[in-house]
């Protein structure tokens, strides 16, 4: 997909996009550095992504590391296409925004949008899944999304030329900036709720919402006295009924669409608040016959859910230990059983479980934090639409759980919901920041 902006904005003042150029250069230099140890100029090394990316778990375990990784992650990209499209969109849309609001304000917009992206990414975890806690997020997409949100309110009627490639055949057409950016924003919300792909969609949503919210506070064109040309155009419209210029701000349909999307986001975060306030999270490490893996377990009154486990023996043992993981009556107690028998349901199949020499200790929440024993059970095989018992499994196991204090998660969800509501007011008052020019004037390209 290729996007090329057209003209149509009369800016009145100019700033060279020095900040946008600086950010672009820094991102490119960092990508060259992070790709040197793997496949040069094509992919960043996994080591770079792990060390410089932002993992949400840092926010709850090491706030200082979290802050540093938020900053570094905004300049790290996974591969050449990732950085190319990010920098392409930053340049196409960012240079015009900086051309109007200036250098200092574009820095504020960029950084605050990046922080909002992190906020939304963390706050969405109770809905999106706790496996995101340990997955490093990289890229400038969240910060750039804030620039897109600002651009939408400032230049809603800019004509964009979009080219899509169908079997290498370009299909090109024109559309307004508002149509393209609202469609893009809607896809991020939809993809985020349906958890499609491995992209942090709600980080994009957070940056975009922050851009919508901030731009009325960063740009106030109303303080500039009307030009002679504007007086003439207003006279033509008010006294002769001739409308030379297009409407300044977003149209009603665009506003309503944006407001609906923002309300959907707000509702999601309010639901996320409810989930997070009734959920406790543990990092579990299970070893079975020498195979070990760490993952997260979320515990609420309705369910106990582990994040995906890739090691087969660890997955088998963990799925059969779940009935023992939480018991409020055993808070701060140790238990021992020479033989423990029960059944669990795996994919609808009743599976017997026998544990010998079981030792377990529960913390003050009634959650299992240490356990060991020998498990005898059977596996469950799924394939060809058939679910059936598999072979017998015997595993000597150990279990260790570490409580993750996510008590602030509900507060983050409330902040994200509030920011979405505040952004609604920016959409309603979008005519205050719209930049436009009459079509009879030459198109202007502020440092395109």
Q: What angle do CA 114, 117, 119 make, to 5 degrees?
A: 115
Helices (H) and strands (E) in the chain, counts: 14, 10
Phi, psi (deg, nearest 5) at residue 8: 125, -5
pLDDT of residue 447: 32
405: how many CB neighbours lie within 10 A of its CB? 10
198-210 burial string, b = 16+ CB within 10 Å, else e? Answer: eebbbbbbbbbbb
Q: Do residues 209 and 265 touch, judged by C-beta distance below 8 A?
A: yes
pLDDT of residue 446: 34
Q: Do residues 204 and 118 touch, judged by C-beta distance below 8 A?
A: no
Dihedral angle sign, alpha carbons of residues 252, 255, 260, 266: negative
Alpha-carbon span 352 to 345, nearest angstrom: 9
Alpha-carbon span 386 to 384, nearest angstrom: 5
Alpha-carbon span 1 to 69, nearest angstrom: 31
pLDDT of residue 442: 37
The single residue listed with the structure tokens 């778990």 is: 57
The helix (run of H) or strand (run of E) holding residue 51 is helix 46-52
Domain boundaries, the chain: 2-276+407-432, 280-404
Phi, psi (deg, nearest 5) at residue 446: -70, 90
**CATH ID of 2-276+407-432, from 1.20.1540.10, 3.65.10.10, 3.60.20.10, 3.40.50.150:** 1.20.1540.10
Q: What is the pLDDT of residues 142-185, one digit of tens each?
A: 999 999 999 999 999 888 877 777 777 777 878 889 999 999 99
Alpha-carbon span 305 to 272, nearest angstrom: 16
Alpha-carbon span 254 to 427, nearest angstrom: 9
Alpha-carbon span 95 to 23, nearest angstrom: 11
Give the helix ranges, DSSP H, for 136-225. Answer: 141-154, 177-194, 201-218
Residues of the chain with pLDDT under 50: 8-12, 223, 225, 247, 437-448
Alpha-carbon span 96 to 15, nearest angstrom: 9
pLDDT of residue 216: 95
pTM: 0.89
User: What string of DSSP letters covers 393-419?
Assistant: EEEEEEEEEEEE--TTHHHHHHHHHHH
**Burial of 442 from C-beta contacts in 10 A (0-12 / 13-18 / 19+):** exposed
User: Which residues share a beta bridge with 337?
Assistant: 358
Alpha-carbon span 159 to 176, nearest angstrom: 5
């Amino acid at each position: 997909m290729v996007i090329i902006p057209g003209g149509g904005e009369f800016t009145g003042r100019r700033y060279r996009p020095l900040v946008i150029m600086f950010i672009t250069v820094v991102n490119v230099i960092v990508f060259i550095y992070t790709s040197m140890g793997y496949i040069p100029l094509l992919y960043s090394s996994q080591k770079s992504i792990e060390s410089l990316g932002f993992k949400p778990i840092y926010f709850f375990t090491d706030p200082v590391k979290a802050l540093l990784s938020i900053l570094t992650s905004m300049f790290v990209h996974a591969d050449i296409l990732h950085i190319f499209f990010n920098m392409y969109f930053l340049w196409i849309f960012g240079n015009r925004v900086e051309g109007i609001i200036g250098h200092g304000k574009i820095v504020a917009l960029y950084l605050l949008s990046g922080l909002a992206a992190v906020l939304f990414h963390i706050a969405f975890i109770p809905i999106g899944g706790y496996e995101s806690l340990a997955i490093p997020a990289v890229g400038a997409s969240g910060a750039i999304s804030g620039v897109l949100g600002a651009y939408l309110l400032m230049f809603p009627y800019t004509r964009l030329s979009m080219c899509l490639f169908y079997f290498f055949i370009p299909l090109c057409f024109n559309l307004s900036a508002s149509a393209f950016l609202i469609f893009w924003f809607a896809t991020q919300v939809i993809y985020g709720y349906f958890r499609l792909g491995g992209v942090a969609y709600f980080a994009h949503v957070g940056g975009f919402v922050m851009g919508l919210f901030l731009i009325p506070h960063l740009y106030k064109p109303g303080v500039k006295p009307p030009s002679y040309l504007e007086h003439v155009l207003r006279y033509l419209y008010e006294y002769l009924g001739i409308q030379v210029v297009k409407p300044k701000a977003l149209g009603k349909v665009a506003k309503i669409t944006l407001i609906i999307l923002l309300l959907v986001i707000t509702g999601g975060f309010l639901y996320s608040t409810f989930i997070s306030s009734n959920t406790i999270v543990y990092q579990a490490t299970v070893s079975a016959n020498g195979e070990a893996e760490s993952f997260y377990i979320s515990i609420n009154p309705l369910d106990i859910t582990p994040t995906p486990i890739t090691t087969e023996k660890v997955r088998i043992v963990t799925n059969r230990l779940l009935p023992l993981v939480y018991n409020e009556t055993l808070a701060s107690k140790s238990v021992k059983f020479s033989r423990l028998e029960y059944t669990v349901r795996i994919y609808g199949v009743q599976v017997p479980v026998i544990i010998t020499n079981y030792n377990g200790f529960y913390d003050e929440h009634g959650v299992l934090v240490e356990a060991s024993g020998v498990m005898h059970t059977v596996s469950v095989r799924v394939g060809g639409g058939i679910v059936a018992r598999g072979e017998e499994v015997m595993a000597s196991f150990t279990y260790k759980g570490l409580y993750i204090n996510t008590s602030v998660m509900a507060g983050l969800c409330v902040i994200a919901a509030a920011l979405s509501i505040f952004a609604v007011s920016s959409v309603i008052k979008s005519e205050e920041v719209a930049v436009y020019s009459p079509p009879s004037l030459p198109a202007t390209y502020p440092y395109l």
